[in-house]
Amino acid sequence: MGNQKLSLLFVFVLLGNIVFAQYPRGTVVFDHLYSASLENPGGENPTRRVTVYLPPGYAESEQRYPVIYYLHGFTWNDSLMVVSDHFDKLLDKAIDLGNIKPVIVVMPDQYTLYRGSWYTNSSFTGKWADFTGIDLVNFIDKKYRTIPEWESRGIAGHSMGGQGAIRVGMLFSDVFSSVYALSPATLGIVKDIGIKSPAYRRVQQIQTREELITGWGEFYPNLIVAMGRAYSPNPNKPPYYADLPFRYEKDSLIVENGVLELWNRNSVIGMVDDHVEDLRKLRALKLDWGRNEDFPHIPLSCKILSQKLENLGIEHYAEEYIGTHSNKLWTNDGRALNEMLPFFDTYLKFE
């Protein structure tokens, strides 16, 4: 009986390997790029790692490919997109199934000292939007066999990266033709990152970076400090060198109206009015979010953004699905495989 079990186990393992190996495999390259745009007084490294997925057959062909620039979320980085999320294996599967034709995917590392750049040009932490929309694109087009045209570049991301995709798509509508935002975070200063958030009181009680960035216990204070360093940096205000829109004096809430106005202008919703024509240039724009989202501001701000775009006559797709912040991303029934990649297959120009 024991030998039979071992034999069955061997068969299952063999079958599992056969199933796993049935998709032709792409290649993952870990590259590095120095960017003058990221020279900064805030201590961030201007040389960034870039993870590049090259589709099956890339090395054997002379074919050129469209590119999807994928932006990771807060606390995440490019290497975790491969090691933890297995995005490369999902791409292998999507290409083999025909969900998308062979494509290059570029994932830049924008993990910072406070765990996220917000893909924003900051006078203190560096010009992360310019790095993404100019320096990174030029680097990739020179080094890899891309189709170096607007119609063949898309940008996407999840959470912080979702708002980054819309932000960079607006700022560089002549570079990227299509945008897909998965559960985009902080599109507006509402709900759990708005005036009633306890994080603004808590951040005044924390005095070291190490307390903020260790684990998940201080996630919200960490998030708003990172936003402050991006949106409203103040090099004369240690320890975080940022102004925040809300603060407390004992039990009294003080609204810093000038800072709040700056945050609102820097938010994606606030940027729309200055980028209406840029948004109209896009071939396609889509955002989605989970009905059971972990972060309450995301469904509300997605709906506010979508309504604003609709009122301005900007064509786009907006969809709520049954899911949380991350449980329907990388699964077989998830958004990346079944929605995001087919979206780019439809709207990107292939050779």
Number of domains making up the chain: 2
Q: Which amino acid is at 128?
A: W
48 strand-pairing partners: 33
| Predicted TM-score of the model (pTM) | 0.93
In this predicted structure, what is the pLDDT of residue 98? 98
Residues 96 and 217 in one domain: no
Residues 248 and 311 grouped into a single domain: no
Cβ 127 vs Cβ 171: under 8 Å: no
181 and 107 assigned to the same domain? yes
Is 1 inside a domain boundary? Answer: no
112 lies in the same domain as 175: yes
> Is residue 241 located within the same domain as residue 294?
no
What pLDDT score does 344 carry? 99
pLDDT tens digit at each of 351 positions of the chain: 344 443 433 333 333 333 444 899 999 999 999 999 999 999 999 999 999 999 999 999 999 999 999 999 999 999 999 999 999 999 999 999 999 999 999 999 999 999 999 999 999 999 999 999 999 999 999 999 999 999 999 999 999 999 999 999 999 999 999 999 999 999 999 999 999 999 999 999 999 999 999 999 999 999 999 999 999 999 999 999 999 999 999 999 999 999 999 999 999 999 999 999 999 999 999 999 999 999 999 999 999 999 999 999 999 999 999 999 999 999 999 999 999 999 999 999 999
| Rounded CA separation 227/263 (Å) | 9
What is the pLDDT at residue 2? 40
Beta bridge partners of 180: 156, 286
Q: What is the pLDDT of residue 22?
A: 80
Residue 9 lies in a domain: no
User: What contacts 162, CB < 8 A, 6 or more positions away?
Assistant: 71, 73, 156, 181, 182, 183, 184, 185, 287
Structural domain includes residue 279: yes
Among residues 246, 266, 286, which one ends one of the domains?
266
Report the distance separating Cα 230 and Cα 128, nearest Å: 9
Q: Which residues form the domain of 123?
A: 24-188+268-347
Alpha-carbon distance of 68 to 107, in angstroms, equals: 9
Token pair 């606390």 in the structure block, residue: 75
Give domain status of residue 18, yes or no. Answer: no
Domain-ending residue, one of 266, 290, 321: 266
* pLDDT number for residue 17: 39
118 and 30 assigned to the same domain = yes
**59 & 183 share domain:** yes
Asked, for residue 107, whether it belongs to a domain, the answer is: yes
Task: Give the C-alpha separation, 142 to 139, whole Å.
Answer: 5
Model pLDDT, residue 12: 34
CATH of the domain at 332: 3.40.50.1820
Q: What was the pLDDT predicted at 1?
A: 38
- Of 211, 237, 266, the domain-final residue: 266
Beta strands (DSSP E) in the chain are 27-34, 47-54, 67-71, 104-108, 121-122, 126-127, 153-158, 178-182, 246-249, 252-255, 284-290, 317-321
pLDDT at 236: 96
